[in-house]
A and B are shown apart, each in its own frame.
Chain A
Amino acid sequence: MNAQPDASQMAIARANRERELLSDALARVGIGDRKAFEFLYRRTSAKLFGVCLRIFGNRNEAEEALQDAYLTIWNRAAAFDRDKASPISWLVAVTRNKAIDRLRAHDKGKAVDLDEALGIADTSPNAEARLTEKDDAKVMDRCIDRLDDRDANFIRAAFWNGRTYADLAIAESTPLPTIKSRIRRALIKLRHCLEGSE
C-alpha cells in the first residue's frame, strides 16, 4: 500500500478546496458581504481578466468589461447554486456573457472580420496552462482533434468572439442553413466525444 498521495490526487484535493472557498465567498456576496466580495475579486480577477482579454485583446476595453462583470457578480451572486455549477464556471460564464454583450454593442454596424476572429483562436490548446484537471484537458484535446478544423474554429468564434450564425454565413459566403447544420453536427460530435459515448 502506498500511503503517499500522488500528485494528481493532491491536485484534485486542491481544486476541491478552491471550489469550496469560492462557493462560500459567493454565498456571502449574495447577502451583501463586501469583504467576501473583495476576497472573491482578489482570488478570481486575474482569471476573469484573462477572459476579458481573450475577448477584447486590449487592456482598456478588457478592464471596462471586467468592471461590468464584477458589478453583475455583486448583484447576481445570490442566484449562484453551488449544487449545480462550479463557482469558477459560473464566474467565467457571467464575465463572458457581459463581455460579449459589450462587444456586440460595439460591433453593431461594423463589417465582420472572421479571419481576425479565427486567427486569434488558431493556437492549439496547451494542456498545462489549463485550470481544469489534466485528464479533462487531454479528453478535450482529443475531441477537438476529431473535429474538422474549420468547425472547431466556428465554435470558438461563436463563443469567444460573439459570432452568430448570420455573421458566420456572411463571412463564409455560405447559406445560413448550411452553416447551421454543420455547426450543430459538430456540437453533437464534440459532446458525445467529451461524454465518452462516441
Chain B
Amino acid sequence: MRLTDDDIATAGELALGLLDKAEAAQARARTASDPDFAAEHAKWNDRMVAMEVIEEAAPSPALWAKIDAAISEKPRQDNNSGNVRIWQGLTAASFAIMLVLATMLWRQPEVTSTPQQPQTLVAAIGAEDGTESVAANYNPQTGALQIIPISLETGKLYPELWIIPEDGIARSLGMIDPSKPAVHSVPQAMRPHLHKGALFAITPEPAGGAPGGKATGPVIAKGAIDTI
C-alpha cells in the first residue's frame, strides 16, 4: 500500500524519537506488519545521519579490551523486531494499555473457534521498587501462558517462574526466557492453581531450575493474577 503523507510523518516521528511511549509502541508495531512503513522508518534513520557531519574520532585504545571482555561467549541473538525493546521502555501507564493490546492480539485466533470467550487472566510481575519485570497472560481454556519479559536481570543465574495460590506453597512453572516473549503450555496439574488472586513469583536459579523443586534464590519479582 502506498504511504500517505501522514504515514511518512509518523515514520519520521518514530525514527526521531518524538513520540511518547504509547504512540511509539503503536508505530513500532506497524513496522512489524507493514513493510512499506518499515522501509520508510529505516530511511528516516539514514536521512537523519546524512543531515549531520559526524566527525570521526578514535576512542581510547583500551576500550576494545573492555568490550572484548564484556561480550558473552555467543551472541544472545536479541530479536531486532523491537518487541523486547518496546516492552522494556514502557512506563506503568502505557504498560497497562499494551498489556490489554497484547492480550487482544493474542486472543484473536480464538474469537472464531470458541463460542463463549474464556476469561483471560493477566498479571504484571514486578520488583519491589515498582519496575515491571514480566507481563503474563493466561488462557484458562487452553492452558497457554504467555510470558513477555520487560526487564529481568538474573546475572549468571536463570529466572524461574512460580505460582503461589492461597495455600502459600510455591509451585514451579519452569524457566522463562528473559530475552523474548514466549508462550508456555501450563501442565494440566498446575492449571487449577492459576486463577484470580494467585501470585506469580520469579526467583533466580541455576541452569535447569531449582534443585528439588524448591526455590533457592530470593523472590526478585511478583504479581497477582487478575482478570481484565
Contacts and interface: CB of A to CB of B under 8 A. Distances in A.
B17 A159 contact: yes
Given A38-B64, A63-B59, A70-B67, A47 B75 contact: no
A74 B74 CA distance: 9
B110 to A, nearest CB: 30
Contacts of A70: 67, 71
Interface string A164-185: 1110000000000000100111
B133 to A, nearest CB: 18
A155 interface: yes
B80 interface: yes
Given A53-B55, A89-B46, A166-B20, A188 B5 contact: yes
A195 B71 CA distance: 40
B13 interface: yes
Given A47-B56, A53-B55, A75 B77 contact: yes
Chain B: interface size category: 35 or more
Which DSSP category, helix, strand, loop or mixed, fits chain B's interface?
Answer: loop
B92 interface: no
B2 interface: no
Given A75-B77, A164-B18, A137 B50 contact: yes
A144 B17 contact: no
Contacts of A29: 75
Which interface class (under 10, 10 to 19, 20 to 34, 35 or more) fits A? Answer: 35 or more
A190 B47 contact: yes
A144 B20 CA distance: 26
Interface string A13-38: 00000000000000001111010011
Nearest to B81: A79
Interface string B45-71: 111111111111111100110111011
A85 B45 CA distance: 10
Given A45-B59, A166-B20, A187-B12, 13 more contacts: A34-B68, A37-B71, A50-B57, A51-B54, A75-B77, A75-B78, A86-B46, A132-B50, A160-B48, A164-B20, A184-B13, A187-B13, A191-B8
